[in-house]
A and B are shown apart, each in its own frame.
Chain A
């Protein structure tokens, strides 16, 4: 009986043993050349050998495109290859930055770029506030011992798994003239609202859909932070008879602050980069009310009749600079948190 019970166990162990054996054989195979290489270049240089594959990968797919983009931003014309494009120096940057007043896009030579900047700023501010508030609220609720907590956690996270294009198409279907929301409004005796014709509504729904789609991810980060707060701190506050708002204000918020900072910076970076959801949902309209910087870059480079890669490249470099600063802020804050 004992032997019979051991049989499946042994069978299960066999594949694991095979994998381990294979790995060992592979290591034995790579050992001599690596030792030879170490003798040749010295142990101090060996880390660079291990870094090389990643460096090559990043170089080809990240740094080289950035360099090509910078080169494009200093050229003009419509030719595709940098070698065939005339050098124009900082002309494209000067064109983008030529403004009577930066607060009035109409006074700028490249007014659509500045409309994009203004829209992206508006979107970022509203989205950051909404995202942090809703994620925090949801995380606080999901951290409580409510019924079907696992189910609700899954429900809030589910939209994160959807493609942004799918999310935007679903909401477009809901919000259009004969969509679900207008059907509900008319059934309730109200009037149809043309959400995509009014600039205010279009921006509102752009922010709403973005928050709906990504809130689950940030809720998860905040939930992890909430669960890391020691229970005994709350117990002590309870024994002291501290009111719930004071507990939140004096205990939860300060201890959750590192996670909140991460969420704030991540939301900020993603907001500045926003494109796909808003583009599919509103097409940048009405007028240019929801044209974001990335849409401006895409349109300038690819959708216009004359594909102006130089101007789009310059706008990308400026956007890249903003994102670089934001990433540095994130790195600084996360490092400060870990130290």
Chain B
């Protein structure tokens, strides 16, 4: 009888524990985060999320790692249809601003966010809104050139100095390439954003008339002419800008890693990748952005982890972002991923990149310094909600000029028309 009572007691205790466990499991909120990676940031984020889950048993975060193309092409369609994840890592902050969730009511300390992410929050807000806090910068990027130092040494050509112009670098890179038979003296990512890095230094302003960007100005034309001339003279190979059509992105990462490129105009986000893949195969360095007649500015950019209006758990999303954007966690993320910090406080203190090789650390220092030299025009262009339309129109039409399909004058007309047409289409409402 005593034995039976004992068994019955145990069974009752087990069932209570089981019920409580089941109930708590039922109460767990699952958040979905859409994420793309250039380097090891997915791995680092996963690690940080597991630590968050250990401290917050009621929240589970699923990290959906997708190609960058999915972020650019699939996510906007999903969001337009009212579907989508709770959070996503995006680069087109202005374009997606209407779909971003303002977390201000749920955040622990909105002032901390304003203080440390303030200048970049403007990129995530719809025009006219000055208060929304939809997310934080997982990285600040700046465009800039990587140089294969070994090729310069092999060719016996002196490297241009700190305030060298684009022309100086183009001549030097061509001289090196000719001597060492490198197929790509200068390579630019086939991207409107990278083109505007050059254009800003040439005086492009992308001024707004009646709220619409005027893409083609004198600075823009000077930069476009340079690109076309460089292709004609062999400074740039048609393989990047000429081999694909439309707005397609084409980088030269593989070519640079294979020591086929003398100067590669890309940006800070490539540092970790080059550090890992090039190793000691050759010496590579990042150099300050070459100067143009207007300035020596690069283009800022970056990726933000943002909350989306499609989320049905804004409070939990805010808790997660409060954790990830905290100085300690964000600092660890930037340090481990070798990213330029998009956090004002950390940028001032400086990040110690413990896992970086000396050349990666030196490159990050160069990019960090470039942030301080950014021209206000570059910030304005990056923050313009229509900037991507201009970038895409520019790259698509200049690509046609590079392969002699059209002339520069015709391309300017087409760029202006493309931008106007797309903005008009965007404005059409029922």
Contact = CB atoms under 8 A, between A and B. Distances in A.
A287 interface: yes
Interface in A272-320: 282-291, 295, 299, 302-308, 310
Given A287-B245, A303-B247, 4 more contacts: A196-B239, A197-B239, A286-B243, A287-B403
B400 A288 contact: yes
Interface string A252-289: 00000000000000000000000000000011111111
Contacts of A285: 242-245, 248, 399, 403
A289 B242 CA distance: 10
Interface centre among B92, B95, B389, B429 (most CB of A within 10 A): B429
B327 to A, nearest CB: 34
Interface string A150-171: 0000000000000000000000
Contact of A80 (B81, B244, B392, B404): B81
Contacts of A197: 237-239, 242-243, 403
A76 interface: yes
A112 B425 CA distance: 17
B238 A86 contact: no
B392 A287 contact: no
A87 B250 CA distance: 37
Contacts, number: 114
A203 B414 CA distance: 25
B281 to A, nearest CB: 16
B410 A302 contact: no
A283 B249 CA distance: 10
Contact of A304 (B92, B392, B404, B423): B392
A106 interface: yes
A251 interface: no
A284 to B, nearest CB: 3
Contacts of B426: 77-78, 306
Given A80-B80, A306-B425, A287 B399 contact: yes
Interface in B330-378: none
A86 B406 contact: no
A294 B414 CA distance: 22
Interface in B242-301: 242-248, 250
15 contacts: A76-B425, A77-B426, A78-B426, A79-B429, A85-B430, A106-B410, A111-B414, A196-B239, A196-B243, A197-B239, A199-B403, A285-B243, A287-B404, A305-B95, A305-B388
Contacts of B247: 299, 303-305
B42 interface: no
A299 B245 CA distance: 10
Interface residues of B, number: 38
Nearest to B405: A287
A81 interface: yes
A302 B405 contact: no
Interface in B383-427: 388-389, 392, 399-400, 402-406, 410, 414, 422-423, 425-426
Nearest to B76: A307
A84 B430 CA distance: 6
Contacts of B428: 76-78, 86, 88
B402 A305 contact: no
B195 to A, nearest CB: 15
A86 B430 contact: yes
B389 A78 contact: no
Interface centre among B244, B389, B399 (most CB of A within 10 A): B244
A288 B245 contact: yes
